[in-house]
Amino acid sequence: MKLFLDSANLKEIEEAASWGAIDGVTTNPSLVAKENRDFIPLIQEICKLVNGPVSVETTTRDAAGMVEEGRSFATIHSNVVVKCPLTKEGLKATRLLSAERIRVNVTLCFSPSQALLAAKAGAYFVSPFIGRLDDTSTDGMALIRDIKTIYGNFRFSTQILVASVRHPLHVVEAAKIGADIATMPFSVLEALVKHPLTDIGLDRFLRDWEKLPAQAKQWKTTGRPMSDQPAKPTSLERVSS
């Protein structure tokens, strides 16, 4: 399963990339607006930091506008995937952009029927928003199961990109279902790493290590295998010399 960071913040992206943890990035207009930076240079910087798909969202309602933006975004960097909303106009734009081999992430998906249409339009990714469904007392993860079944039944190649992820259990459940990707905010990625028993265990190991005498703690090697190192004189040789 691939993990994407849902962020337009360069510090977060750089940090997550340094852990070897992320395979791509998703952005949306709200995340970009938070950064208060020029849009195109920001996307260029993100693409330099991540060796994988970077989703960039169109900001119009009509298909012609989305196609125009999408074509332009695709020239920013080869990592760019164009995001179109799951509306009739978004599907039209998806069909046209996909026909031009521009990868499209169909976003704002909230039902299995919408996901079916996204696949038929040629979407590269479909983004079901599970957290926003949970917020309305609807089981977001059930949507992932349904899409997985439908895409499996008809061997659609559209990848399921689980979005609006709010906590580590969302990621684990999505992985168990076999979703292709989960995209998450930095706080959730950090929470995936943390475990109190890891911290307690490490504290204990380091405390115990401190008990070893300084002489015994030497760890720098000579760079030669042990077998090549001169044998230490035996106690008998030391006595005779």
**What contacts 133, CB < 8 A, 6 or more positions away?**
110, 139, 140, 143, 164
Kindly tell me which of 29 and 65 has the beta carbon lying closer to ligand E4P: 29
Shortest gap between Cβ of 30 and ligand E4P (angstroms)?
A: 7
Shortest gap between Cβ of 208 and ligand E4P (angstroms)?
A: 42
CB 50 within 8 A of CB 7: no
Among 40, 131, 145, 192, binds ligand E4P (CB under 6 A): 131
The catalytic position among 48, 83, 88, 194 is: 83
Shortest gap between Cβ of 146 and ligand E4P (angstroms)?
A: 19
Kindly tell me which of 26 and 159 has the beta carbon lying closer to ligand E4P: 26
State how far the Cα of 152 lies from the Cα of 236, in Å rounded to an integer. 75
Kindly tell me which of 50 and 225 has the beta carbon lying closer to ligand E4P: 50
- Locus of tokens 């008998």: 236
For residue 225, CA distances in Å to 220, 221, 233 come to: 13, 9, 18
**What contacts 32, CB < 8 A, 6 or more positions away?**
8, 39, 42
State how far the Cα of 45 lies from the Cα of 48, in Å rounded to an integer. 5
Residue 26's DSSP bridge partners are: 6, 55
Kindly tell me which of 64 and 129 has the beta carbon lying closer to ligand E4P: 129
Q: Is 7 in the site for ligand E4P (CB under 6 A)?
A: no
Q: Is 12 in the site for ligand E4P (CB under 6 A)?
A: no
83 is catalytic: yes
Q: Is 104 in the site for ligand E4P (CB under 6 A)?
A: no
Shortest gap between Cβ of 57 and ligand E4P (angstroms)?
A: 8
Q: Is 127 in the site for ligand E4P (CB under 6 A)?
A: yes
Residue 20 backbone zone (phi > 0: left; psi -120 to 50: alpha; other: beta): left
Among 164, 181, 188, 189, binds ligand E4P (CB under 6 A): 164
State how far the Cα of 6 lies from the Cα of 98, in Å rounded to an integer. 23
Q: Is 129 in the site for ligand E4P (CB under 6 A)?
A: yes
Residues involved in catalysis: 83
Kindly list the residues in this chain that would bind ligand E4P in the complex (CB under 6 A): 6, 26, 28, 107, 127, 129, 131-132, 163-164, 183
